[in-house]
Amino acid sequence: MESEEARAEMARLAAEIERHNRLYYEEAEPEISDADYDLLVRELRALEAGHPELVTPDSPTQLVGASPATHFAAVAHRVPMLSLGNGFTDDDVYEFDRRVRKLLGSDAPVEYAAEPKLDGLAIAVVYRDGRFTQAATRGDGSRGENVTATVAQIRGLPKRLAGAAPALLEVRGEIFMPLEGFRQLNEELTARGEKAFVNPRNAAAGSVRQLDPEVTRARPLELFVYGLGEAEPAATPDRQSELLGWLHSLGFATSPLATTVRGPEACLDYYRRLAAARASLPYQIDGVVYKVNRLDWQQRLGMVSRAPRWAIAHKFPAERAQTLLRDIIIQVGRTGALTPVADLEPITVGGVVVSRATLHNADEIERLDVRIGDTVEIQRAGDVIPQVLRVIESERPKDAKPFHFPTRCPCKLKTPVVREEDGVVRRCSGGLECPFQQVERLRYFVSRQAFDIEGLGGTHIENFWNDGLLKTPADLFRLKDHADALRQREGWGEQSVRTLLDAIEARRTIALDRFINALGIPTIGEATAKALAREYGDVDSWLEQMLQARRERQANDAPTKKEKAEAEIGPAYGRLCNVTDIGVTTADRIVAFFTEGHNVEIIRKLIAEVQVPPFRSARVAADSPFAGKTMVFTGTLSAMGRDEAEARAEALGAKVTGSVSKKTDYVVVGADAGSKARKAAELGVRTLSEDEWLQMSGAGA
């Protein structure tokens, strides 16, 4: 590249990087992924390496130092950093309390630790031998970003603990920016001609994710801690309320509004007091959190999917606003579902600028009688997802246009749109032939919760697809055959191509649950993918069983129930129906995916390109009698609920299934056991009474 051409390209890249820096760090509203940003920086570095005489002191590479992906390295949470389930009504709180008491087998009022739910950035802070060593964001719950250098700048964070602490201590908390500090920061930014933050939460997140720790040091950040990730040795109090006191004695700040309450009525009374005081607090809160106070009960209750059973966030009502609906846009998702989206005149709701809101489906448009040109009321449901609530009919203009839901997909194939049996969802009938679905599935495939391929953002996926370089997931692992063509593309060079190909090669070995989740099979998300991986163990067995379940269902498509699926349809289909969180409806959707030959071909081609090790459950007690065993629970258990018992068995290394076979090692038989107990006797499978199960699992008195 000639010097003048290189100079122009470097100036373009520098301006683009600076724009994304402002969107990301100051506005906390990024337009591109971290991986796409990283590619821009790498491209600029490669040009500067070839033309060092053109490097300017104000280049982003000179000011930034390391790229974000290097600066914010991934950190694996040894104990998952869970999100909380949400409640929005009094009934939600009563139902939460009812579930807790049922799982605990108690009619007595439960004591809860209650505290405000801060609207900030969740953080995990690690101490070794009493000294601060690491800080990481929540991330996806399993992995976060290493923000040690910036979190160390928060003045209220103790760098050395005040009292005796375990050799390893991980504390969880929330970083936030007080309202007064937020106001002053925005005044300073405005005075310097810089754009102000839209709300304190974004200001806190942007301040922690600064590349320059000195910027973070100047920001008015605070930290309240609320719990533990882990402690070794585990010398901690018995109750959540006592835990907060213990953490405070070590030098941490905790919420001064934290307290204990007994029963759901007291929870609601606390909620109403905080709702009334919300406007006068010196920081933003968006609800309250209730946690079962006894820590041993928290252990018993465990978790479901990615949220604990022993806690709930009771959110304050969503904020609402009125604005103009300029248009209705149809989006096609990876499963072919057509979703109408309202294109709005931008408006601030709950501290966030909203320009799009979901209209859910065609029936919702009809119910609302919403028209293009209407004034509508919107809210951020749970302060997260914007949605249209109603039309302000008194403001309707005469030229407002009714919206006619399309009967054909907006893709270039114009394939018919079909309405599902439930009458709600409408899908493109083109399947994987639909370009929108192909691109969306590929985007999902490389996303963080799937194969997590760094440097391959949505724009690159779409461009590669349009140019014929990428049609199926397996094509990703053959991009190396097109390396020369990639280098010739605008904005790509030797370094950026090598970085992308290295990132792809790093994902040739993938966990089974991530492999299954990445395929985008309807109804299968992260939790269900993990349940399938746990059930079938390895990728070949999983695929073989899915194909067998398909054959069985094709031979007999009569209605059936989960309990009778094996007897009426077949063993493979019955096994699928009885996997955790899967019933007949979900099983039928999964089987339907495998009836399309090209889907099976796509999976086989992908298996040929990658390594999928057998699934292994995390952290199993070495001396567990159930490690590696297959177990079935049947009947009613009196000491603990079925969910709790199955979770405990899995924690002890067992594989819990829903049907009895010759491969089953133990069947735990509770009261009123039925056909599973009889089948265990017929097959000679060892059965355990509830007392025997409790004794062997260590849960007995």
Distance set, CA 601 to CA 193, 521, 596, 597, 606 (Å): 56, 14, 9, 6, 9
In angstroms, how far is the first alpha carbon of the chain from the final one?
A: 76
3-state secondary structure of 82: coil
Catalytic residue flag (residue 117) = yes
**What is the distance between the alpha carbons of residues 271 and 288, in angstroms, rounded to a whole number?**
6
Render 473-487 in DSSP notation, one character per residue. Answer: HHHHTTGGGGHHHHH
Joined together, the tokens standing for residue 176 give: 């936030």
**What is the distance between the alpha carbons of residues 232 and 491, in angstroms, rounded to a whole number?**
49
Handedness of CA 346, 348, 353, 357 (dihedral sign): negative
Is residue 346 a contact partner of residue 325, using CB atoms and an 8 Å limit?
A: no
**What is the distance between the alpha carbons of residues 482 and 399, in angstroms, rounded to a whole number?**
52
C-alpha angle 601-603-608 in degrees, rounded to nearest 5:
95
Distance set, CA 371 to CA 327, 331, 393 (Å): 8, 18, 10
Residue 49: count of CB within 10 angstroms of its CB: 11
Report the run of H or E that residue 347 belongs to, with start and end.
Answer: strand 338-349
Render 165-211 in DSSP notation, one character per residue. Answer: --SEEEEEEEEE--HHHHHHHHHHHHHTTPPPPSSHHHHHHHHHT-S
The tokens 């390496």 sit on which residue?
Answer: 49
Residue 414: count of CB within 10 angstroms of its CB: 13
Which of 102, 117, 480, 530 is catalytic? The answer is 117
Give residue 194's Cα distance to chain centre: 32
Enzyme catalytic residues: 117
